[in-house]
């Protein structure tokens, strides 16, 4: 963590493990799991699976270049179990992250939003 961030308690704090869930707008049975403003993964009811298998899935990890291919995922019988497994995976994943990883994610997210906004302006002419 940089000196400025340490001094003012900004952004990445490896001790902060509070996760928030935001419902996916188009699916009432799907939640985005976030750490501050970084979307880490999802917890969702699985579609089209037999009733005798796990009905929930989860995936944890975000994609800065330094974490390419490093993700965890799984299935669970209930939402509560899926949430607990996600949180355990996050506790194992977070120590591998740096402030630079979170900043890279934010830059890429912001650039992608800007790019799509520009394309939208071109398409509406």
pLDDT tens by residue, 30-50 = 999 999 889 999 999 999 999
Region for 14 from its dihedrals, namely left if φ exceeds 0, alpha if ψ lies in -120 to 50, beta otherwise: alpha
Region for 32 from its dihedrals, namely left if φ exceeds 0, alpha if ψ lies in -120 to 50, beta otherwise: beta
Stated as kind and residue range, the H or E segment containing 31 is: strand 30-35
Q: What is the pLDDT of residue 69?
A: 73
Q: What is the pLDDT of residue 95?
A: 87
User: What tokens does 122 get?
Assistant: 């071109």
Q: What is the pLDDT of residue 4?
A: 42
Domain boundary assignment for the chain: 15-123
- Helices H, strands E: what count in the chain? 3, 5
Residue showing tokens 């992608």: 112
Q: What is the pLDDT of residue 1?
A: 44
- What is the mean pLDDT of the segment spanning 53-58? 97
How much is the pTM? 0.76
């Amino acid at each position: 963590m940089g000196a400025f961030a340490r001094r003012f308690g900004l952004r990445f704090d490896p001790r902060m493990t509070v996760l928030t869930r935001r419902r996916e707008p188009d699916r009432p049975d799907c939640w985005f799991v976030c750490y501050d403003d970084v979307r880490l993964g999802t917890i969702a009811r699985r579609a089209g699976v037999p009733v005798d298998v796990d009905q929930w899935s989860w995936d944890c990890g975000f994609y800065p270049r330094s974490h390419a291919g490093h993700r965890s995922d799984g299935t669970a019988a209930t939402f509560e179990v899926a949430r607990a497994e996600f949180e355990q995976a996050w506790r194992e994943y977070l120590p591998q992250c740096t402030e630079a990883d979170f900043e890279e994610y934010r830059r890429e997210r912001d650039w992608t939003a800007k790019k799509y906004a520009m394309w939208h302006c071109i398409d509406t002419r």
